[in-house]
C-alpha cells in the first residue's frame, strides 16, 4: 500500500457540525460556528481581533488593504515562500523586495532586512517556515525604528511560539492557513487574519464585508448598513467554520500527535545526520514548533532527485517545496532580490518533505525511515 504525502485532519465531529450548520438559518458566514472559532482564537492566541477568511491568500490581501499599500510601495519578504505572500501586495501595485534566508531555519535572515529598506518601504512580511519562528525581536526592532508594518505570514505556524508568544500575535497582523495540508483545516481551503493593533479592527470588518458596515448593523450599532469603504468578499462559508470547529476542539490532541510523529523521524534519522549524510531541521532554543512538516536536506539537487525517485519506487510519496519566487517569470517582473542569493536557491534544492499528518501510522513511518536508510547504505 502506498504512503501518501498528506492526509487532511479529521477528528470525528466535523460531519456532525457541518450538518448542524446546514440546518441553521445562516450558512453564508459569521454564524454560530464562525463566532465560536473566532472567539477561540481571540482567547487562545490571544489577539485583539480574529477574522476567518476563505483562505490565507485572502487574509494577506485583507492585510495589504488595511495598511493601504499603494503602487510603488515596497514590501520586504523572503523569496522562499508561497506565491500568495507576494501576490497579496503585488495586487495593490507594490514592488516586492526579496532578501536571503537563513540556512538553519529557512526563514528570512533578519540581519539582512535593514539593508533592503528604502524610503519606499512600507512593510516587512516574515514567513514562519515549517511552523518555526523567525527572529522576531530583531525584525520588530528594525520595523519600529523605521516605522514599518509587520505582517506575519504564519500560514504554517498555528500553535507555534517565539519566546512564549504565539506566532502571528507579534506583528501588527498575522495570517494563517487552514488549507488541507495544514495542521488544522476547514475542509479544504480556509484562512484567518488576526489583528494585534486596535487601529485596524473596525476597518478590517468593513473591508471583509465588501466595504460595508454590515457587521456593525448586525450588532445594532447602526440602523442600516451601507457601502462605506473599499472592500471585497473575504467572508468564508459557515460550513468551513463548522469543519474547523471540529478541529479546534481537538487542537491540543492534533498538536501532540504531530509532534510525536516528528520526533520519531528525528530520532530515527539522527544517525544519518551524525554520519554526514543528511541534515535535519533546526529548532532555535527560543522557539516551540507545531510539527507542521518534517523535512531533511541532502547534498544537492541531483541527490534529492535520486532520493525522491527511490522513495517513489517504494510507494512513498515525498516532495520538495517552493521554487524561489525571484527565479520565476513573475518574480522577475514584480520583484527584485536585494543582495546575494547565497542560500535561498541552493538550500531549497536540497530540501525534501516526508509524509506527515495527524495520526500517521507508526508502520508507515517505519517504512519511510527504512527506505531512507536503505538509500544511504
Picking from 319, 324, 322, the residue whose alpha carbon sits closest to that of residue 345 is: 324
Phi/psi at 353 (5° precision): -100, 135
Asked whether the predicted pLDDT for residue 362 surpasses 80, the reply is yes
Q: What percent of the chain has pLDDT over 90?
A: 95
pLDDT tens-digit map of 53-66: 999 999 999 999 99
How many whole angstroms separate alpha carbon 110 and alpha carbon 124? 10
User: Is the peptide bond between 133 and the residue preceding it cis, with omega within 30 degrees of 0?
Assistant: no
Whole-number pLDDT of residue 219? 83
Task: Tell me the HSE value of 112 on the side-chain side, using a 13 A CA sphere.
Answer: 22
Note the pTM of the prediction, 2 decimals.
0.97
Region label for 256, one of left (φ > 0), alpha (ψ between -120 and 50) or beta (otherwise) = alpha
**307: which residues sit within 8 A by CB, 6+ positions away?**
298, 318, 352, 372, 375
Q: Find the length of the chain.
A: 377
| pLDDT (mean) for 333-338 | 98
Tally of helices (H runs) and strands (E runs) in the chain:
13, 13
Amino acid at each position: 500500500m502506498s504512503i501518501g504525502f498528506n492526509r487532511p485532519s479529521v477528528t470525528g465531529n466535523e460531519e456532525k457540525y457541518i450538518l448542524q450548520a446546514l440546518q441553521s438559518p445562516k450558512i453564508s458566514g459569521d454564524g454560530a460556528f464562525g463566532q465560536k472559532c473566532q472567539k477561540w482564537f481571540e482567547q487562545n492566541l490571544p489577539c485583539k481581533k480574529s477574522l476567518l477568511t476563505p483562505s490565507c491568500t485572502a487574509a494577506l490581501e485583507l492585510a495589504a488593504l488595511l495598511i493601504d499599500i499603494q503602487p510603488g510601495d515596497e514590501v520586504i519578504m523572503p523569496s522562499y515562500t508561497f506565491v500568495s505572500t507576494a501576490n497579496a501586495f503585488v495586487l495593490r501595485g507594490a514592488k516586492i523586495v526579496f532578501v536571503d534566508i537563513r540556512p538553519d531555519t529557512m526563514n528570512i535572515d533578519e540581519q539582512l532586512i535593514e539593508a533592503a529598506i528604502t524610503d519606499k518601504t512600507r512593510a516587512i512580511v516574515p514567513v514562519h517556515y515549517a511552523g518555526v519562528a523567525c527572529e522576531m525581536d530583531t525584525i520588530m526592532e528594525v520595523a519600529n525604528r523605521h516605522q514599518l508594518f509587520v505582517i506575519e505570514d504564519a500560514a504554517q505556524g498555528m500553535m507555534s511560539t517565539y519566546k512564549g508568544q504565539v506566532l502571528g500575535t507579534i506583528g501588527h497582523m498575522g495570517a494563517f492557513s487552514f488549507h488541507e495540508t495544514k495542521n488544522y483545516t476547514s475542509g479544504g481551503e480556509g484562512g484567518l487574519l488576526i489583528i494585534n493593533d486596535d487601529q485596524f479592527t473596525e476597518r478590517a470588518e468593513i473591508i471583509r464585508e465588501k466595504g460595508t458596515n454590515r457587521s456593525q448593523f448586525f450588532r445594532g450599532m447602526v440602523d442600516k448598513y451601507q457601502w462605506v469603504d473599499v472592500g471585497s468578499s473575504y467572508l468564508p462559508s459557515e460550513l468551513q467554520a463548522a469543519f474547523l470547529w471540529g478541529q479546534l476542539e481537538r487542537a491540543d490532541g492534533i498538536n501532540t500527535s504531530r509532534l510525536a510523529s516528528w520526533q520519531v523521524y528525528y530520532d530515527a534519522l539522527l544517525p544519518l545526520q551524525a554520519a554526514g549524510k543528511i541534515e535535519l531541521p533546526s529548532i532555535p532554543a527560543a522557539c516551540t514548533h507545531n510539527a507542521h512538516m518534517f523535512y531533511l536536506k541532502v547534498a544537492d539537487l541531483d541527490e534529492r532527485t535520486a532520493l525522491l525517485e527511490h522513495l517513489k519506487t517504494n510507494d512513498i510519496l515525498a516532495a520538495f517545496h517552493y521554487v524561489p519566487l525571484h527565479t520565476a517569470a513573475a518574480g522577475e517582473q514584480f520583484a527584485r532580490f536585494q543582495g546575494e542569493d547565497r542560500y535561498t536557491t541552493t538550500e531549497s534544492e536540497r530540501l525534501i518533505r516526508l509524509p506527515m499528518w495527524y495520526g500517521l501510522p507508526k508502520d508507515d513511518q517505519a517504512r519511510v525511515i527504512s527506505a531512507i536508510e536503505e538509500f544511504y547504505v
